[in-house]
Homo-oligomer: A and B are copies of this chain.
Amino acid sequence: MLESVNELLGWDERALMPIKAGGYRAEQLTMLSGMVHRRATDPQVGQWLEELVDSPLAADPHSDAGATIRQLKREYEQRTRLPRALVEELTRAAVLGQQAWSTARKNNDFAAFAPHLEHTFALKREQADALGYSERRYDALLDLFEPEAKTSHVERVLADLREALIPLVEGCRESARRPQVEILQRHFPIDAQREFAVSAARAIGFDFHRGRLDVTEHPFCAGLGPHDCRITTRYDERFFSSAFFGVLHEAGHGIYDQGLRAEQYGLPPGSYVSLGIHESQSRMWENAVGRSMGFWRHFYSGAQAAFPQALGETKLDDFHFAINDVRPSLIRVEADEITYNLHIIIRFELEQALLDEKLSVADLPAAWNAKYQEYLGIEPPSDADGVLQDIHWSAGLIGYFPTYSLGNLCAAQFFETAEEELGDLSSLFVQGEFTPLREWLGRHIHQAGQCYTPSELVENVTGRPLEHASLIASLRKKLAPLYCFAPVGR
């Protein structure tokens, strides 16, 4: 409950808080975090968990009780393994690092940020060593976001993905067909965007009696209670996709949050299982659903009515092609569904090299640019648009990036399985029927909470471990007719 109060403080800080209120808000957050930490690391709690872990309650690790004991023990151990001084220094470095990053990015001055990044990686090494690992140091950090995931497995999956993506990207690049992307850059009045996005979010199942949509510069989703999920977006009058697909994405996160078992709120059976699985939900609604032809067969007449000036004379096929434009670009958050993964792979490879001291911070910009040349065929004109573009490393979030691509992979694999079980989903979407998919996700993924590890969950639901085949097949299926390259069977 204290953590949920902290969530509200954090949400308000990002969404609404007056600018000068920041200092006191930091004090409030620190006070509550301290309270949570003291309670969560109370040796009495450790003793109780020690007793429970060998009790009949914990016999079935996948039961609510079993999962609760296992996960609370895991959290207790993670919390108590870190020396207090390291926790404090990590917090401090994250605050200072983000400030330094923000300025460095503005001034295109990597050198000014470099010492912070050095310090952060040194601390993360310390943290990884304190947490412990059996194979790779990176495992300890990855595990914080994707429990029980192994670097070696993620590496293999993403390497396979990369191999399979490159010919797709080339197929698009070499195609004579090109979408008219200017369609999305026409005038889209903001009130109409909001109304249209809300109607779509509601249609796919985001419950506005248990949530809200607000405006922030950096869109996000926050769960503030068992019936209180807040999503945000930003509007660009001259670009349709930014808010609309942003809302579908955050609504996808929100539908996961709203699908968790409310009566288990705050406990492992009522908590999301990993960032990768969370991202699978947002990506599925954004891409597999929201960029599909079936979805737009249902929504396009509404879009034309909402934006008569921009879309009144535009054909559905042209609009659909425009929202599925594929082209290598510099900035991750603006990348298309396909090349996005290459941005992630670059970060995943570089942050491992930095953690393992195979790459020095000084050599990072050059390494970054070389990878962009190799994987995407483009080179950043500046560090601001290159190695300085993301906030993550400055905030100490190492091991976080791969969960974005894991999310894409999971989304495709889940979606494929859902379609096997529910029949052709596209024809349901044409009818505006999104409930079958949402309920299927609820039954198989949301309601499971943390009763299974992420990889157990994937295997349980889809019958096989996570791999790249489903994503590649679905992308090929969608892109082949658009870009007119020969479809290849799986």
Chain A contacts to B: CB under 8 angstroms: 1-2, 4-5, 8-9, 12, 16-21, 23-25, 27-28, 31-32, 207-212, 224-229, 265
Contact assessment for B8 and A210 in the assembled complex, using a CB-CB cutoff below 8 Å: no
With both beta carbons as reference points, the residue of chain B lying nearest to A23 in the complex is identified as B227
Contact assessment for A225 and B1 in the assembled complex, using a CB-CB cutoff below 8 Å: no
Write the nearest CB–CB distance from A286 to chain B, whole angstroms.
22
CB contacts (< 8 Å) of A17 on chain B: these are 228
CB contacts (< 8 Å) of A9 on chain B: these are 5, 8
Contacts A8-B9, A9-B5, A24-B227 known; A212 to B31 CB distance under 8 Å? no
With both beta carbons as reference points, the residue of chain B lying nearest to A210 in the complex is identified as B20
| Additional A-B contact list (12), CB under 8 Å, known A21-B228, A24-B227, A24-B265 | A1-B27, A1-B28, A5-B28, A5-B32, A8-B8, A18-B208, A18-B209, A18-B229, A20-B207, A20-B227, A21-B227, A25-B228
CB contacts (< 8 Å) of A16 on chain B: these are 212
CB contacts (< 8 Å) of A5 on chain B: these are 5, 9, 28, 32
CA distance A212 to B18 in the complex (A): 7
Question: Could you list some 25 contacts between A and B, CB below 8 A?
Answer: A1-B27, A1-B28, A1-B31, A2-B31, A4-B24, A4-B28, A5-B32, A8-B9, A8-B12, A17-B228, A18-B208, A18-B210, A18-B211, A18-B227, A20-B207, A21-B210, A21-B224, A21-B225, A21-B228, A24-B225, A24-B227, A24-B265, A25-B225, A25-B228, A28-B225
With both beta carbons as reference points, the residue of chain B lying nearest to A225 in the complex is identified as B24
Among all A-B residue pairs, the 3 with the closest Cβ atoms = A21-B228, A24-B225, A20-B227
CA distance A148 to B9 in the complex (A): 36
CB contacts (< 8 Å) of A20 on chain B: these are 207, 209-210, 227-228
CA distance A227 to B21 in the complex (A): 5
Write the nearest CB–CB distance from A210 to chain B, whole angstroms.
5
